[in-house]
Structure 1
Amino acid sequence: MKFLQNGDVNLTTKTKTYALDSAGSRLFLILNPVAGSCKAEQVRNLLKQYCEMHGIGYDIYETTGKEHLPSIVRQAQEQDYSVIAAAGGDGTVSAVASGLLHSQIPLAIIPVGTANLLARELAIPLEVEAACQLVVKGGRIRKIDAMQVGDQILISHISIGSYSRIAERTTVAAKRYFRQLAYVWSALAELIGTRVWRFNLRIDDREQRIRAAFIMIANVGEMGAASLRWGAEVEPDDGQIDVCIVRARTLLHYLSFMWHILWRQHKQSPHTIYLRAEKNIKVSTKWNLPVRGDGEIIGRANVDIQIIPKAIPIIAPVVVPDKMAS
């Protein structure tokens, strides 16, 4: 591994909060320089500024897109780092989290991706300087649930159907330059020809067959737009994963679905079914539909998910605003 900076940082954990000092432990940052909104030099400079201001050292690893990030994280744990930080989008964060499964080392997030859904959910600042301050000055620890697919850990959303097809239509370049707006054109193209598919769905060993436009499996409620949420009760640390089945067939159905979301009447929508899982979720279909997890396409046609409660400790602000407040 090539490190750009190095030094010492110490993390002291007490119940659900932590604080930094200079007792000799170390902070390791994984930086994705091509994440959606990332300005790598800005992240490096701000982290350097705040670490030096507080007498804290650090190491930075910049991704190339060719490495296996969970392995990099596991190597870092062997070098006695006390905090692992991820600067990137939801995909980068989940890849780093995969290497921290069942670890006591907390994960800090500097959200510089396109949607930054987990950061929004945990009220982690989206402004880079404030996020670096949180990493250095401290906060509280929230142990969030995880969704395991094979050897991969996902912590925000998994979708299959129209929603994942919209993501597949949207290019990396469009996401980088237009951010959330990049999905609008892809969504219009998809919804003009909207349709439903037949799925086999198993939740906690209970099986059923359904027809749906898409299935959203949500560990976080954030949709990434304003204060809109997939569900009023979706929380990342409640030991359960929410399954939102959207059965919209026409553009008018989608408009009705969005109206209920806007007014936080999710369960009153006639085009939506909500279910909850505590152990496992399996979705399969005969159609070659993409499966999207935390911003990346992770497979096609089927996904088998194991739920791991309280799997990843994440550093968040001490005071968390009410996400459902107007």
Structure 2
Amino acid sequence: MRKGLLLYNPTAGRYPVGRFVHGIIHPLKYAGWSMEIAETLSGTHATQTAHQAASEKYDAVFAIGGDGTVGQVASGLINTETALAVLPAGTTNVWALEQGQKPFSWFQWHALRENAELLANVEPQYVDIGLCNDRPFLLWAGVGLDAQTIHKIEPRPRYFKHLSVPHFFATTVWEATFWHGLDLRVWTDGEFIEGHYLVAVATNIRHYAGGMSLISPNALLDDGEMDMWLLSGDSLADALRHFFDLVAGRHLTSDQARCLPFHTARVESDAAFNIQVDGDPMLGGNKAEIKTLHRALKVLMPKDALQLLKDPKR
């Protein structure tokens, strides 16, 4: 019998998920899982609990929360044989959107159970993980305007999460009104670029901006490579142009957006900057060193999401 841990974030998302967690146990037990339940107390606790589950040879940790929770749990499972399984229940659920899962809400309370059933009997896969200044991330690591905004709004009270998109957009517009970008020096696999940018974001996945943008349409989760996107500009008008270009896909041909595939990267500036990883704020500075750890995380993915892998047969 396989052993799993349901690890849920009670503060994630627009609606409390705790009362629905026990309803996931029956379909997983029916599929041959022995399940335990734990509640996260903080991001650090989520990482530590996942790491402890890996040391105790659990087959999987089912992370119930948003992208921040997913990234924190993933951090505790790197280079172990315990798989990450994501049951989306957060404000934004871009990892789940990437894989075609429906997030939990009180109007879709059955989504937790349906997603658990999707993952109950799949073959484990391995995906890449990033390190930004030695902090793991699964989705993105960014500096510039997106990091500025995330540092302003996180952590959010639950009532703000009901207005997550307009709240994020309004805060971004406010920040862009008074903040005019950074002079950055960027190294990717030995190539050097410098310029003035509003955003520099490394992405491991296809979606960005809360899932509204397909920023890297051909990204693969297990190819040992990530994309560094550099968005130039110094004004609110530039920020708005980039937003609408990202949503419409025009960034792919814009001369104001540049994509640099990389295995290792370094971003530096004379001015200190904020950093975000997986939509959570982290300690900033004058330098961000980013590395790709090839196939360092074992995951359970829906069968329909295997097209996100370079070699799904592996």
Equivalent pair of 2:213/2:248 in contact (CA under 8 Å): no
For residue 106 of structure 2, what is the aligned residue in structure 1?
A: none
- Deviation string, structure 1 residues 92-129 (Cα, Å, up to 9, x no partner): 21121122111222210011122212121122332323
For residue 195 of structure 2, what is the aligned residue in structure 1?
A: 210
For residue 163 of structure 2, what is the aligned residue in structure 1?
A: 178
Instruction: Give the direction of change, closer, same or farther, for the CA distance of 1:320–1:68 in structure 2 (3 Å limit).
Output: closer
* Counterpart secondary structure, 1:57: strand
Q: Quick check: 1:86 aligned with 2:63?
A: yes
Instruction: Give the direction of change, closer, same or farther, for the CA distance of 1:178–1:120 in structure 2 (3 Å limit).
Output: same
- Structure 1 residue runs without a partner (length 5+): 1-23
Q: Quick check: 1:121 aligned with 2:89?
A: no
Q: Quick check: 1:39 aligned with 2:16?
A: yes
Aligned 1:147-162 pairs, distance under 5 A: 147-162=130-145
Instruction: Give the direction of change, closer, same or farther, for the CA distance of 1:175–1:102 in structure 2 (3 Å limit).
Output: farther
Q: Which moved more, 1:101-110 or 1:188-197?
A: 188-197
Equivalent position to 1:104, from 81, 106, 115: 81
Question: Following TM superposition, by how much is the alpha carbon of 1:322 offset from its aligned partner in structure 2, in angstroms?
Answer: 8.1
Larger radius of gyration: 1
Q: Quick check: 1:249 aligned with 2:226?
A: no
Distance in 2, matches of 1:85 and 1:108, equals 5
One-letter code aligned to 1:168: H
One-letter code aligned to 1:92: T
Question: Following TM superposition, by how much is the alpha carbon of 1:299 offset from its aligned partner in structure 2, in angstroms?
Answer: 1.8
One-letter code aligned to 1:148: L
One-letter code aligned to 1:222: H
- Deviation string, structure 1 residues 261-292 (Cα, Å, up to 9, x no partner): 333233311221111102x1111222232101
Question: Following TM superposition, by how much is the alpha carbon of 1:197 offset from its aligned partner in structure 2, in angstroms?
Answer: 1.2
Equivalent pair of 1:147/1:308 in contact (CA under 8 Å): yes
Once the two structures are aligned, what percentage of the paired residues are identical? 18
TM-score, length of structure 1 as denominator length: 0.82
Question: Following TM superposition, by how much is the alpha carbon of 1:52 offset from its aligned partner in structure 2, in angstroms?
Answer: 4.8
Aligned 1:222-241 pairs, distance under 5 A: 222-225=207-210, 228-241=213-226
Equivalent pair of 2:97/2:211 in contact (CA under 8 Å): no
Aligned residues: 298
Q: Which moved more, 1:67-76 or 1:28-37?
A: 67-76
Equivalent pair of 2:185/2:195 in contact (CA under 8 Å): yes
Q: CA RMSD in A?
A: 2.5
Q: Quick check: 1:286 aligned with 2:270?
A: yes
Equivalent pair of 1:106/1:312 in contact (CA under 8 Å): yes
Q: Which moved more, 1:117-126 or 1:309-318?
A: 117-126
TM-score, length of structure 2 as denominator length: 0.85
